[in-house]
């Protein structure tokens, strides 16, 4: 099934198509056999801005528009179904999650989930307060 990756080993990318038009990417974070993943909602573009802009097209006029949402992030990085199952630790398909050495904020902003019809009451959305790359 298409959700198999989400039930696999932590540290892998689970990619799915939503609303018949957008790719979304999640970092699998649970035990094997358990459905557990974190939606990658945004990224701060630090390098490769030309490539990100080319992938996003004219819709991304400002730098903060490049990756400020789950579908925008996937479009900017060229993430599609071919990346499903990618190892985010080894970077086997060119994508890695690494520690940049910058300490996380003392108090992340925690809000209700957005863009959902069910489960929106849960405060499971964490972000850096005031970061211009955060969607909504």
pLDDT, mean over the chain: 88
pLDDT above 70: percentage of residues in the chain: 97
Strand ranges, E, within 57-129: 109-111, 125-127
What is the model's pTM? 0.83
CATH, domain range 4-98: 3.10.300.10
Position of tokens 């945004």?
Answer: 42
Per-residue pLDDT tens over the stretch 16-41: 998 889 999 999 999 999 999 999 98
Q: Could you tell me which residues are beta bridge partners of residue 14?
A: 26
**Separation of alpha carbons 30 and 118, rounded Å:** 22
User: H or E stretch including 24?
Assistant: strand 22-28
- Mean local confidence (pLDDT), 114-131: 75
Per-residue pLDDT tens over the stretch 83-107: 999 999 999 999 998 888 888 777 7
- Strands 22-28, 37-39: pairing is antiparallel
Q: How many helices (H) and strands (E) does the chain have?
A: 2, 5
């Amino acid at each position: 099934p298409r959700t198999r990756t989400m039930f696999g080993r932590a540290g892998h990318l689970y990619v799915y198509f939503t609303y018949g038009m957008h790719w979304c990417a999640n970092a699998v974070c649970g035990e094997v056999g358990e459905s557990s993943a974190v939606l990658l909602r945004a990224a701060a573009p630090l390098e490769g801005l030309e490539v990100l802009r080319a992938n996003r097209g004219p819709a991304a006029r400002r730098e903060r528009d490049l990756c400020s949402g789950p579908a925008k992030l996937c479009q900017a990085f060229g993430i599609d179904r071919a990346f499903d199952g990618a190892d985010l630790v080894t970077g086997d398909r060119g994508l890695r999650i690494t520690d940049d050495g910058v300490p996380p904020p003392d108090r992340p902003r925690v809000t209700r989930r957005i863009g959902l019809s069910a489960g929106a009451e849960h405060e499971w959305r964490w972000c850096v307060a005031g970061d211009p790359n955060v969607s909504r």
